[in-house]
Structure 1
Amino acid sequence: MAIPVILTTAATTSIAFAAANPFSDVPSDSWAYDAVSQLAKDGVIDGYPDNTYRGQHNMTRFEMAQIVAKAMARTDLDKADKATVDKLAAEFSEELSNLGVRVSDLEKKSDNIKWSGKLKYKYKQQNHDVGKDKRSNKIELRTEPKAYIGDSGWTANARIKYVFQPEEASNGDVSIERAYVQGPLFGTTVTAGLTPLEVTQGVLFDDTISGITSEFGSDIFNTKIYLGRYSEVDHADKKDDPSNKDITADYYGVQFDYTPTDKLALNAGYINLNGLDDNKLITVKGNEANIWYAGTDYEFMDNLHFVGEFVQNTDAEKYKNAYFMELRYKEAKANDPGSWGMYAGYRSFGDNVTIETAFDDVDTNQKGLVVGAAYTFANNITGELQYFNGKDISTDTDADTIYSKLEFKF
């Protein structure tokens, strides 16, 4: 990164250039003199120990991260400048972490409430040899406010979802998908409220529980404990995906994550759903499910990952297993226009173990081959195209799905 990037940062912070220059290698007649002097005065840049600036040298990502950290700590940025700094913070988040700088700590100094969200257009066409074909055409808006609770390290978080289906004569549906507080307690990170479930890489759930979670450990070995109540009222947009199970149960779970290197991640866990109020999740005992799972994400070549997960409900009478395996090549990154990724794999989602899967290319009670690709058209604008060809498990008949999505992040 060449030094003019610093000057771009300076220009977007609306600084009036009128300060003494502390650097011996930046003469007063230099085109960069005013910008460098003011940035030094404002504490955004420090230069080197020998009082030089070395503007002719390329800047390292580590050096740029230091500038970003100082810029984020400022409270006098206008809205447009803050948006620029937020983008830089996302780009240099890893370097900021290595500096011991928590981006969330810097954000709360400039704004007590942070908003983010997504606007999505989705189209899904499902075809079945036996059963009814379905088409879904919808617009979905998610907003996610985060409020910092003083200097306690705690935050209040929510996710509000609006779904509009153009073919229906209605104004759409609004739901609160998440509402929880999160913060440090006795050496752990605690989440309480309508809190997200982040288990089984999305095979079993893409949902929430009403309860509490506790997370503790290190970057290498981490443990999450979940206690709460799982209910159908936590599900959003049921009519769009009626395969989601309408169940209510007490939820107890634990997940272990092991990441020995930056190329290998392993997970394993156990979930107990107790007091199931109906038989849509069929079990041997009639009102209890004991679910075990394990999975991996292994980068065995540059940009090429093998990803998989296996989940089993040991109390189910039949269709008790769910699993997927796939190869992923590259990735469409929202902040990197022109980036792209693709995948190919196999899925088998037994009807008595998957409850609300996070996968868009296949539903519960289906198995078969999948392929997909994603592309970043512009900053924070991405598109996806996915295809499934296989069978409906219970009838052993052919089925296929085409899914597409255009997403705008903000």
Structure 2
Amino acid sequence: MKKNLRALICTALMTTTITASGFAAALTDVPTKHWAYDAVSKLAQADIIDGYGDGTFNGDRTMSRYELAVVVARAMEKYDTADEQQQKLIDDLSKEFATELNKMGVRVAKVEAKTNTWSTGGDLRFRYHSNDPNTNVIAGGTAPTKLKGGDLFDWRARIRFSGKINEQWTGNIRFTGAWSNRFGSVNDPTSSGTTTFIDVANATGTNILGFDSVKIGRDAFAVGYTMISRSESVDGITLNKKVGAVDTMLFTGNLGVNVPGNPSSPTSDSKQFSSVQLGYSPAKNLRVGAGYFNADIPGYSGSNAGGLLADNGAAFDRSKGYNLNAAYEFSGLTLVGEFVSSSLKNAVNMADNPKGFAVQISNGTGPSSKNLFGNTPMTNPKKIGDSAWAVEYRRVESGTLPVGLGGFDAVAIAPVTSPYNVFTHGSDNIKGWLFSYEFVPAKNMTFNVTYQKLRVLDQKLTQKLVGDKLDDTLCATLNLMF
């Protein structure tokens, strides 16, 4: 079968072009009830495709889907010279015969490169949270409580659209339901639905203005291995250039209304963040990097929105600093380490040169296996039975990470009535351990359990607390990807 198929493809690609009128008359071997008959006829009449040397596709029998796929592949080669209506026909045919094109070696990527076909995908996430409120407060303070009711469960749905715009540019859009959709609750009390946002919307071009790639728009962002990061809704421009063996990435952009300390108003000022990152692989199993950042983002205490795990009036206006990172693979394991040092402008009641680090070891091989903290998938979602674990320790002084870009913020959660909301302070003035395990029960499904044991690093900043204890948290996550 493979030998005959190769011969068929070679024959189709080597035959001479026939006249449009002769070709149209010879299409009796194509099933007349299939919509592709009319599409192929129109493309043949426009001399976009041609047939075998005898003026037919196979003379005395009905064409197979593979033979028609060969015709589509030839049409794709002339896509740029076709008019708009003809391009629409090629688009429709490429979608219809995408499976056959893929099996023949004409990969789907080629289909997308020659047409404006866009792909879709997405994910569903269901999570269960549990916390142990062992925090003690001084007399008169707000007593910590356990999560209960709808706060124990949340869900999220996202849909992605991506594809080729032209030979140089691709586009990517993602719609997501409001973060933290609690079970049994809705965002609008007059509706049974939920608010939807566009948290990713960007275009990426290759070989633009001397750069290997240029990305413009909204996306996730990370410095190094995600100590400084945000998983969505960072607007800006990213420039990538490989200089010798060094990968260089330049970014400048802003964090919008969701930044703690920035009022949730369309008229509020965005908070600018810029960075330069360098990456180098001195050996096949070793990756090292360094970066510099400048964050026009303030921090303050006394409120969950302030970003600082403090209540003593600690505050600063903006920050800048650098990070060093490395990932080393050995014996089926990956060791990741990252160090961040910051300089705070106009720091009050806190150190003006805070530092932090995180170290993690994992056996994961999935797309997020090198990310610090238990971010799924650490496994390969297409491999049933695959599993992975991660163990991490981190120590982060107050103000080290720019507010709103703390990569650990989404790992822990506690009731908003607690003296310190652990969810918004998972990255500031803390030390602690994280343990994560993940399993693939079925194709494109992952189940992850992450446990954190966090403690206050500098108790002088938390005058309302007795001791250094924070909530121990557990999060169980079921992800379904499509």
Deviation, structure 1 residue 392: 3.5
Confirm whether residue 227 of structure 1 aligns to residue 227 of structure 2.
no
Deviation, structure 1 residue 218: 6.1
2:324 aligned to which of 294, 307, 324: 294
State the AA in 2 paired with 1:324.
Answer: A
Confirm whether residue 141 of structure 1 aligns to residue 157 of structure 2.
yes
Deviation, structure 1 residue 75: 7.2
Confirm whether residue 305 of structure 1 aligns to residue 334 of structure 2.
yes
State the AA in 2 paired with 1:338.
Answer: G
Mark the runs of 5 or more structure 2 residues left unpaired by the alignment. Answer: 7-29, 32-51, 53-62, 74-89, 136-143, 188-192, 366-378, 413-425, 460-464
State whether residues 202 and 216 of structure 2, in contact with CA within 8 Å, keep that contact through their aligned partners in structure 1: yes
State the AA in 2 paired with 1:194.
Answer: R
3-state DSSP of counterpart to 2:222:
coil
State the AA in 2 paired with 1:123.
Answer: Y
Residues 102, 367 of structure 1: CA spacing in aligned structure 2 closer, same or farther, 3 A cutoff?
Answer: farther
Deviation, structure 1 residue 325: 0.8
1:346 aligned to which of 382, 393, 398: 393
- For 1:263 and 1:85, locate their aligned partners in 2 and report how far apart those are by CA, in whole Å: 36
Residue aligning to 1:364: 427
- For 1:220 and 1:143, locate their aligned partners in 2 and report how far apart those are by CA, in whole Å: 36
Residue aligning to 1:314: 343
Larger Rg: 2
- For 2:360 and 2:115, locate their aligned partners in 1 and report how far apart those are by CA, in whole Å: 42
- 1:47-66 to structure 2, matched below 5 A, reads none
State whether residues 276 and 292 of structure 2, in contact with CA within 8 Å, keep that contact through their aligned partners in structure 1: yes
Residue aligning to 1:409: 481
- 1:331-342 to structure 2, matched below 5 A, reads 331=365, 332-342=379-389
Deviation, structure 1 residue 378: 1.8
- TM-score, normalised by the number of residues in structure 2: 0.59
State whether residues 380 and 408 of structure 1, in contact with CA within 8 Å, keep that contact through their aligned partners in structure 2: yes
Residue aligning to 1:255: 277
Deviation, structure 1 residue 405: 0.9
- 1:5-404 to structure 2, matched below 5 A, reads 76=93, 82=98, 104-109=109-114, 111-130=116-135, 131-134=144-147, 135-151=151-167, 153-163=168-178, 164-170=181-187, 171-184=193-206, 185-188=208-211, 189-206=213-230, 207-217=232-242, 220-233=245-258, 248-274=270-296, 276=298, 280=306, 286-301=316-331, 303-315=332-344, 317-318=350-351, 320-331=354-365, 332-354=379-401, 355=403, 356-359=405-408, 360-362=410-412, 363-365=426-428, 366-393=430-457, 394=459, 395=465, 396-404=468-476
Deviation, structure 1 residue 125: 2.2
Structural RMSD (CA): 4.2
Deviation, structure 1 residue 224: 0.8
> Percent sequence identity over matched residues?
19
More divergent stretch after superposition (291-300 vs 385-394): 385-394
Mark the runs of 5 or more structure 1 residues left unpaired by the alignment. Answer: 8-14, 21-33, 45-72, 90-95, 240-245
Deviation, structure 1 residue 105: 5.0
3-state DSSP of counterpart to 1:201:
coil
State the AA in 2 paired with 1:401.
Answer: T
- TM-score, normalised by the number of residues in structure 1: 0.68
- For 2:235 and 2:250, locate their aligned partners in 1 and report how far apart those are by CA, in whole Å: 14
3-state DSSP of counterpart to 2:157:
strand
3-state DSSP of counterpart to 1:150:
coil
- For 1:121 and 1:275, locate their aligned partners in 2 and report how far apart those are by CA, in whole Å: 32
- Higher strand proportion (structure 1 or 2): 1
**Cα deviation per residue 1:91-110 (whole Å; 9 max; x = unaligned)?**
xxxxx9xxxx9975543335
Greater relative contact order (CA < 8 Å, ≥ 6 in sequence): 2
- For 1:154 and 1:84, locate their aligned partners in 2 and report how far apart those are by CA, in whole Å: 26
State the AA in 1 paired with 2:383.
Answer: D
**Cα deviation per residue 1:314-371 (whole Å; 9 max; x = unaligned)?**
2263493332111101432012111111111212244423334344545223321221
State the AA in 2 paired with 1:174.
Answer: T
Residues 351, 159 of structure 1: CA spacing in aligned structure 2 closer, same or farther, 3 A cutoff?
Answer: farther
**Cα deviation per residue 1:201-247 (whole Å; 9 max; x = unaligned)?**
22122144332221111694211111222233479xx99xxxxxx99
**Cα deviation per residue 1:35-77 (whole Å; 9 max; x = unaligned)?**
9x96997799xxxxxxxxxxxxxxxxxxxxxxxxxxxx99745
- For 2:255 and 2:339, locate their aligned partners in 1 and report how far apart those are by CA, in whole Å: 22
3-state DSSP of counterpart to 1:202:
coil
State the AA in 2 paired with 1:196.
Answer: A
3-state DSSP of counterpart to 2:113:
helix
State whether residues 111 and 117 of structure 2, in contact with CA within 8 Å, keep that contact through their aligned partners in structure 1: no
3-state DSSP of counterpart to 1:119:
strand
Residue aligning to 2:369: none
Residues 229, 78 of structure 1: CA spacing in aligned structure 2 closer, same or farther, 3 A cutoff?
Answer: closer
State whether residues 204 and 353 of structure 1, in contact with CA within 8 Å, keep that contact through their aligned partners in structure 2: no
More divergent stretch after superposition (377-386 vs 121-130): 121-130
Deviation, structure 1 residue 281: 5.4
Residues 408, 247 of structure 1: CA spacing in aligned structure 2 closer, same or farther, 3 A cutoff?
Answer: farther
Residues 219, 77 of structure 1: CA spacing in aligned structure 2 closer, same or farther, 3 A cutoff?
Answer: farther
